[in-house]
Amino acid sequence: MMTVLITGAAGFLGSHLCDRFTKEGYHVIGMDNLITGRMSNLEHLMKLSNFEFHHHDVSKHIHIPGELDYILHFASPASPIDYLKIPIQTLKVGSLGIHNCLGLARVKQARVLIASTSEVYGDPVEHPQPETYFGNVNPVGPRGVYDEAKRFQEAMTMAYHTFHEIETRIARIFNTYGPRMRLNDGRVLPAFIGQALRGEDLTVFGDGSQTRSFCFVEDLVEGIYRLLHSDYTEPVNIGNPSEISISQFAEEIIKLTGTTQKVIYKDLPVDDPKQRRPDIRLAKSILDWEPKFSRAEGLKITYDYFKSLSKEELFKKDHMNFDNYIVR
């Protein structure tokens, strides 16, 4: 049985990856410090004999006894609101965290796949974004802590690959959505659906002309699974190229939820990218992968998930667990 360590296991993407790898018959070690992750995302896996959970902060030395074949580094706050609240932790998990993962990979002779991001392209001047685009990032802006941590993470991963001959894979993940996203993490989809369910107006930032391209989580997981098992070591975009403006997206959510609330406009956050769409020609050619879920299908599944949440959950102000966070 192959063993895989998944960091950020209790988060949105991490938990879906745990689902997939346990289903595929791997022994899965899920690791999370539970600041933004939640055990409720993993509850259904805890009874499985091929799943174990380690409550640990990957920014500190990682100890795993026995053999390890793969490491998926998915630990990181991943929304602008989250990394503004915990900027230092965000920088640490992308730098010290990946260093620990790569050190562990060296000892275990394991293959590492890192969750990088479309944020490495910053506010992109080139559109859509191919992997060859170097980006337009403000290192000292509010997003800098995330963007630069992820850029450093790619550099560190490449260095271990070339210098220590570690097997590495780099996924550049574009906006992804689906069940288990945290309400109130600030991301646009849970924000809009949460607002619709609570009977609040939908808050569009700026004039809503900025674009994003949303990928359903199941498609993302399939892309990651294929990339891990490929022999390609350069970065690969994983995302859905179907692009939409945020104001159109708000209209789609209004239709989907049937809310009678309206759209209200708020200030655009600093350095908010004006446009984003992945060029996925590389993923298509080397992984034979492209998204299968239309936005309508994915949104319906996601809306059903949010509808099933309790009232208490829906009206909770913050879902981050600061008890698990110590600033150093």
Catalytic center residues: 146
| Distance of closest approach, residue 125 Cβ to ligand UDP, in angstroms | 17
Q: Which residues bind ligand UDP (CB under 6 A)?
A: 79-80, 175, 186-188, 191, 203-205, 210, 212, 246, 269, 272
Q: Evaluate whether 212 touches 276 at the Cβ level (below 8 Å).
A: yes
The residue among 16 and 143 lying less far from ligand UDP, judged by its C-beta, is: 143
The residue among 207 and 297 lying less far from ligand UDP, judged by its C-beta, is: 207
| Distance of closest approach, residue 60 Cβ to ligand UDP, in angstroms | 27
Q: Hey, is 38 helix, strand or coil? A: coil
Written as six digits, the tokens of 37 are 């992750």
| Distance of closest approach, residue 310 Cβ to ligand UDP, in angstroms | 22
The residue among 25 and 139 lying less far from ligand UDP, judged by its C-beta, is: 139
Of 2, 1, 16, give the one whose Cα is nearest residue 301.
Answer: 16
Question: Which H or E run includes 150?
Answer: helix 144-164
Residue 199 backbone zone (phi > 0: left; psi -120 to 50: alpha; other: beta): left
Rounded Cα gap, residues 326 and 321, in angstroms: 11
| Distance of closest approach, residue 203 Cβ to ligand UDP, in angstroms | 4
The residue among 93 and 101 lying less far from ligand UDP, judged by its C-beta, is: 93
Of 121, 118, 75, 113, give the one whose Cα is nearest residue 94.
Answer: 75
Of 51, 271, 327, give the one whose Cα is nearest residue 147.
Answer: 271
Q: Hey, is 116 helix, strand or coil? A: strand
